[in-house]
Amino acid sequence: MQQTHLKCTCQQLSQVNTIREDPGLVEKLKERQMELEEKQLEFEHKKGNLERENVMLEENIKIELQGLKENQLIQQQLIEELRNNKISAYKRQNELHLLIQNVHENEAEKKVFNMAMLAIIE
């Protein structure tokens, strides 16, 4: 285990020596670090925008769901009202049919009465 540890230390030291020997590499690493920091800032900005957009979408979904629930309730009320109106219409239609039937019966009785009266007069 001791040898592995030394080997790791040696590799790290050799990398440090390579960096010290090549100042251009240090500059490239600094530039790369700045690029990565810029990308991280862009990422954080985009992440924040997406989080805000996500919150807005969740709120819109809640509003839409509430609207759908309200529409469903209204639809149920309208269906109930329509059912009641159909029942009322059938009742009125039935009453009208009975009235027409009574009128026909009255007219028939009137004709019979008139015929009987004519027969009596003659």
State which amino acid sits at residue 20.
R
Please report the sign of the dihedral spanned by the C-alpha atoms of residue 61, residue 62, residue 63, residue 69: positive
pTM over 0.75: no
Give the residue with greater pLDDT, 108 vs 54: 54
How many domains, in total, are found in the chain?
1
Residue pLDDT, tens place only, 35-51: 999 999 999 999 999 99
pLDDT at 101: 96
Residue pLDDT, tens place only, 84-103: 999 999 999 999 999 999 99
Angle at which helices 2-21 and 23-121 cross, to 10°:
100
pLDDT at 8: 56
Q: Which domain holds residue 46?
A: 2-121
What are the C-alpha distances in Å from 45 to residues 39, 52, 57, 82? 10, 11, 18, 54
Cα separation, 104 vs 98, in Å, equals 10
